Amino acid sequence: MPSDSAYWLIAAPHRRGDDQDLFRSIKSLVGDNVVVGGLEIPDLKTGTLSSLLNLSDALPKYDSYFTQTVSKLLDTIRSLVSDDKQKMRSYATVNDQPADRYMIPSPGSSQGWKWDRSRWGSGGKVLEVIEALNKEMASIDTIQKQKLQNYNYIKGNLTSAQRKRTGNLSTRSLVGVVKKEDIVLDSEYLETLIVAVPNAKKLRVSQLDLSSIGSSSLPSANPFRKIASDSEFTLQTVTIFKKVKDEYIHKCRENKQVLIETLTAFHARDFTWDETAAEKQKQDLADLEAEEKELWSDLLRLSRTNFSEAYQLLVHLKAVRVFVESVLRYGLPAEYSGVVVKPDAKSSLKTLKSLSGYFTFLTTKEKKGSGSGDGDVGGEFGAIMDQEYYDFVLFEVPEVPV
């Protein structure tokens, strides 16, 4: 069954030689709770029957790609505005208006969706039109991916920098935590190691069984010092002779009872004292925040524009599919017309049954199913790709859920 969260594009032959007859009949049939609008089917050059059949087989793949691209653009907008419903309504638009106004500009009027002749012409070759549509969509997809990749890279850097300032003592930057007096500086023989000890272990660096290393590793009887703590870790220092640093760390790793990275329960922290580090870190974070904000704004504007363009391309491709299928079913000349139906969720099954009953005069001898093309489409767009076969031409355009 077609989705009740999609627009149904329907085409059928004229019953009385009147291209408005289909609209009036469907409008009367489905009742006032179902929105119906006109649909202009493009008049294109078909080529040979064989080429048209091949094109009919290829179109689902284009459809899948177009739908995936629109879906990804919508997901990007949703992520950028943190799924804010009001902002979604502002940015997930088509020609600066809600998508439903694009699909059905004048509800209840036969003057509905129009083929964009200014961009895609009239009477052109169907294959050339499809290739032009695909070229436009591919360009949108490529540009969007590049901009999104740039933004995610800077956002990742910013997140990493923020984590270093706000994480626990095993991961955060030690700038501003470790003071100059906490470590031995400019010594030819001594070096201070900094270790983050998990509070849950209830151990101190001095409790490590390091007797096998030898007292020559430690320059004094009490080389250990606690310098900071948070809810998860305690930061301690141990001062050792530089010449036994590697042996010291190796022996600590052999202590399986307490080793986690450099030490099983302890995290050795790399740290080099720098008088300018705090100010540099602050400036770097400010620069990243400013760059991320600028890229976020640029990406949001681009996504809004690209979504509008991509959605229109998708609808035009659907209109081409309506044309191709109508020609294959009803032949030439093109004595058929189309409508857009927006089903009501509560009565969509009833609407479909009413339409099927009305179009019994089009019943064919054989039923078949059309594929959805390659690739998976997730989210709210996924359910509409598996098209079923009906006695009348029917394709679906995803509603924009905002």
Asked if residues 307 and 70 have their Cβ atoms less than 8 Å apart, the reply is yes
Say which DSSP state 204 is in.
Answer: -
Measured CA to CA, the distance from residue 308 to residue 312 in angstroms comes to 6
Mind listing the domains of the chain with CATH numbers?
A: 41-101+112-155+291-335+361-396 (1.20.1460.10), 180-273 (3.30.70.100)
- Report the SS3 class of residue 273: coil
Inform me whether the pLDDT recorded for 398 exceeds 90: yes
What's the token pair of residue 164?
């270093």
Task: Quickly state the pLDDT bin for 137 (edges 50, 70, 90).
Answer: very high
Q: State the average pLDDT over residues 378-391.
A: 55
pLDDT tens figures, 301-330: 999 999 999 999 999 999 999 999 999 998
Question: Residues with Cβ < 8 Å from 3, sequence gap 6 or more?
Answer: 383, 384, 396, 398
* Global confidence as pTM: 0.75
Query: 130-148 as b/e, with b when 16 or more CB fall inside 10 Å?
Result: bebbbebbeebbeebeebb
Measured CA to CA, the distance from residue 147 to residue 88 in angstroms comes to 20
